[in-house]
Amino acid sequence: MNAFSIRTATGAFAFCAIGGLSALPAMMAQAQSASTADAAYEVTDADRAAAQGAVRVTPHALPVRPSEGQAARKIPVRAGHRVGAAAAPAAGATSSSAQLRYPADLSFQGGPTIQAAQHHAIYLRPNGHCPVSSCWGDPERFLGDLSRSDFIHVTDQYTGRTDSNRYPVGKRAFASFKPPFNFSPNAVPFTDNDMLALIHAVAAKTGNTGYGHLYHVFLPQGTDECFDNTYSVCYSPDNPSTFFFCAYHGYADFNDIGHVLYSVEPYQNLQGCQVAPNTPNGELVDSTNDVLSHETFEAITDPDLDAWWNNGGNQIEGGAEIGDECVFLLFIGNNVYSDPGIFSVGERNYAAQPEYDNASHACAMAP
């Protein structure tokens, strides 16, 4: 039996899966909060039905970075919106940031952008145990500082807003589950439907939906997740044949609660997703933040996958979003890493990839 329980600032909910992820009868659980009175609520079959019936397209994913000698992995997504991958330079401590890539301006496709929104983190914890600091770092502090940084203002030209601190951190949630959810014997990975069922349960209770809210689901080390129940396009380091992405963002239109924006952030501190060594906060923290930054900028500028992306016709493959254009790779021997830049907020330094700036026709970390 695999079990979930989700704990938030206002309550808790739980569900079990018997014989896989197809049948998930609801259970009640109790939560504690340091800031609000305790409340209890359920995740019901209606949440899973809502996820199953939600309207969405295939999410936009950040591909796994290829090791030396491997071809870049292309993720099958909807026609007209394919994820581009940076070309791999020769082996040795060389960076792809030196490659001629510009200009590669994004084109406006007519869809909405996120002018202002709250971030909501949902942390999935195996057996209820996985401290945020040791499992992911401090992604909420990163998001809060990012909102106050000069870096976030690279999005101004795409959203039409220039005021500061438009993307603060809102309420968080914790989810407990009984592992494994991976490709080990007699186990199956999570799917995007599972992520949406959890998000639906939180959003339905809080009412935090629409373009003013962005959910980030964080998965712990050893937990796999796939686009669908074919289990063919996945985050699956333990199963290289299906290991295609490091993270992704997307949206869902639920029949009852409407539009929800989200990203899924698996564990990043491993080959194919992590940053290079010797970043300011260490590889665990900065690998989490680097990928979270990528998904956040892309969700802001292309939340419904129909706003700002590259039409092609230059060195960047068509469909690349603001973050895809600036995924630079550092090759050290046979290993490949993200090659991020550094930005500062007060006395804190962060490692994160640059984002594409149409105004300067280049990758940038400030407007």
pLDDT at 20: 32
Predicted TM-score of the model (pTM):
0.86
> Low-confidence residues of the chain, pLDDT below 70?
1-43, 67-102, 313-318
The per-residue pLDDT for range 131-150, each reduced to its tens digit, is 999 999 999 999 999 999 99
> Which DSSP string corresponds to 198-253?
HHHHHHHHH---STTEEEEEEPPTT--EESSTT--SEE-TT-GGGB-EEEEEEEEE
In the chain, where are the structural domains located?
A: 2-64+112-310
**Cβ–Cβ contacts within 10 Å for residue 359, how many?**
11
- Label residues 35-62 b or e (16+ Cβ within 10 Å = b): eeeeeebbbbeebbebbeebebebbbbb
Q: Is the bond preceding 168 in cis, omega lying within 30 degrees of 0?
A: no
pLDDT reported for residue 24: 28
Residue 350 in contact with residue 344, Cβ under 8 Å? yes
221 close to 235: Cβ distance less than 8 angstroms: no
Q: What is the pLDDT of residues 301-337, one digit of tens each?
A: 999 999 999 987 555 566 899 999 999 989 888 889 9
Query: What pLDDT was estimated at residue 89?
Result: 34
Query: Among all chains, which residue has been given the structure tokens 């099958």?
Result: 76
CA angle (99, 234, 311) in 5-degree steps: 40
- Structure-derived torsion over alpha carbons of residues 86, 262, 106, 244, reported in degrees to the nearest 10: 20
